[in-house]
Amino acid sequence: MDDSTWMRLALDEARLALAHDDVPIGAIAVRGGEVIARAHNRREADGDATAHAELLAIRAASAVLGHWRLEGVTLYCTLEPCAMCAGAMVLARLPRLVYAAPDPKAGASGSVLDLLSHPQLNHRVEVTGGVLADEAAALIREFFAGLRAQMGYEALLHDMLHIRLAKSASFTRWDSRPLSEEQKVYAAEDVLDLLDLTTALQNRLAELGRLDWAREECRRLEAVSDERIPDVLWAKLPRIGGSDPKTRAVARELIEWREQAAQEADRPPSTVLQDAVLMEVAKRRPKSVDRLEQIRGLNQATLHRRGASLIAAVYFAGGQS
Ligand SMILES: [Zn+2]
């Protein structure tokens, strides 16, 4: 096996750190064409500043070999080692290190300092850097960007169910009616995919021991999104701060109106009246449905079914202020 094949195993190991919110860094020790030890970063999991993947892998390899000297061992690490780990490699007389991404902030194999080929130390490690560097760096970058937590629907489907979404229907206009046959098939498949995805996600979370945690998080999110406080919604309206008092008063009334209309129609409030349109109505204060009709972006169903009631709300708010 070549270096990049081993490095892939180290990357797999690195991903295990994500289960406990540790920076995804992995290391494997190879001897005689065999993995004898593997470890991933456990700093957060163990609350231990020294629980680096490399150090843990060195310890595990020593335990397997029954000796502190790691003869014939090559260590594959997804990140350039820090001073502590590089020091341990020298102490263990490690013959060879292969690492993936350089660490410009703390790397002790040339980036910040160089312990592995220091002329005054009694052991020098043969180093190969940059093997699958992009993949390793991307993994760490994604971790810090929180991208794993917000993986898009398409990426999740591919990652968990190996399904690639057909592009054909995703760019069509879903708000036009009637839906085409193709759109209906697409939508039906989507529902089935979603059910499978739910099961796969549940299984993955259960495997990681995080299912209960996720349930708890979701419950909190649900509570937050269900709670719709009119004053808070009003304060979040676009450009409400710079509006004149009358516009502000009408907007406040329209918020109440929208919440009630949404409840009656059993639809999300934003589909009854979008924030931007609500502000436009508040600003123009139309006195008739004809005038209301001139406001752009107004939902046609709202106009026809609730136009009169909307005008009444505007009038009511105007009369109060
Ligand atoms: Zn380290």
What is the CA angle 179-184-188, rounded to 5?
Answer: 150
pLDDT tens for residues 244-262?
A: 999 999 999 999 999 999 9
- pLDDT attached to residue 252: 94
Residue 175 has pLDDT above 80, yes or no: no
Q: How far is the CA of 245 from the centre of ligand 1 (A)?
A: 60
**Choosing from 13, 54, 80, 280, which is the catalytic residue?**
54
| pLDDT, mean of residues 182-205 | 88
- pLDDT attached to residue 112: 93
Q: How far is the CA of 302 from the centre of ligand 1 (A)?
A: 61
pTM (predicted TM-score): 0.49
Q: How far is CA 221 from CA 17, 91, 227, in A?
A: 25, 50, 10
Confidence of residue 168 (pLDDT cuts 50, 70, 90): low
Q: What is the share, in percent, of the chain residues with pLDDT greater than 90?
A: 57
Mean pLDDT of the residues in the chain? 89
What are the backbone angles phi and psi of residue 17, rounded to the nearest 5°?
A: -65, -25
- pLDDT attached to residue 216: 81
80 catalytic per annotation: no
- pLDDT attached to residue 136: 95
Q: How far is the CA of 106 from the centre of ligand 1 (A)?
A: 9
- pLDDT attached to residue 321: 44
Q: How far is the CA of 312 from the centre of ligand 1 (A)?
A: 68
Q: How far is the CA of 210 from the centre of ligand 1 (A)?
A: 27
pLDDT tens for residues 55-98?
A: 999 999 999 999 999 999 999 999 999 999 999 999 999 999 99
DSSP H helical segments within 1-102, as ranges?
3-15, 43-46, 53-65, 83-91
Q: How far is the CA of 189 from the centre of ligand 1 (A)?
A: 47
Q: How far is the CA of 48 from the centre of ligand 1 (A)?
A: 12
How many alpha carbons lie under 13 Å from residue 147 in its C-beta half-sphere? 9
Q: Which residue from 229, 235, 262 is spatially nearest to 251, judged by alpha carbons?
A: 235
Q: How far is the CA of 66 from the centre of ligand 1 (A)?
A: 22
